[in-house]
Amino acid sequence: MRLRGRFKPSSRGPRRPRPELAAALLLTAACATLRPPAPGVAEKARAAHSWSGSLRVSVHGAELRGRSRALVAFRRPDNVRIEIPGPSGARLVAVTAAGKLTAVLPGERAMLESAAGPQQLEALIGIALAPPELMDVLVGAPPNSVRTYRVDWGQALPSRVRAELLDGTKLDAKVDEAEQDVELPKAAFEPPPCPGCRTIDADEARRLLGGR
Element (H, E) at 129: none
Q: Is residue 15 part of a domain?
A: no
Residue 168 is part of which domain span? 42-205
Q: Is residue 6 part of a domain?
A: no
Work out the angle at residue 80's Cα, subtended by the Cα atoms of residues 40 and 200, and round it to the nearest 5 degrees: 155
What is the rounded CA–CA span in Å between residue 41 and residue 154? Answer: 9
Q: How many domains, in total, are found in the chain?
A: 1
Per-residue pLDDT tens for 135-153? 999 999 999 999 999 999 9
Q: Is residue 14 part of a domain?
A: no
Per-residue pLDDT tens for 32-90? 334 678 889 999 999 999 999 999 999 999 877 889 999 999 999 999 999 999 988 89
Q: Is residue 212 part of a domain?
A: no
Q: Is residue 10 part of a domain?
A: no
- What's 14's DSSP letter? P
What is the rounded CA–CA span in Å between residue 82 and residue 105? Answer: 12
pTM score > 0.85 for this model?
no
DSSP 160-204: EEEEEETTS-EEEEEEEEEEES----GGGGSPPP-TTPEE--HHH
Q: Is residue 35 part of a domain?
A: no
Q: Is residue 31 part of a domain?
A: no
Q: Is residue 174 part of a domain?
A: yes
CATH code at position 128: 2.50.20.10
Per-residue pLDDT tens for 165-191? 999 999 999 999 999 999 999 999 998
> Percentage of the chain surpassing pLDDT 90?
72
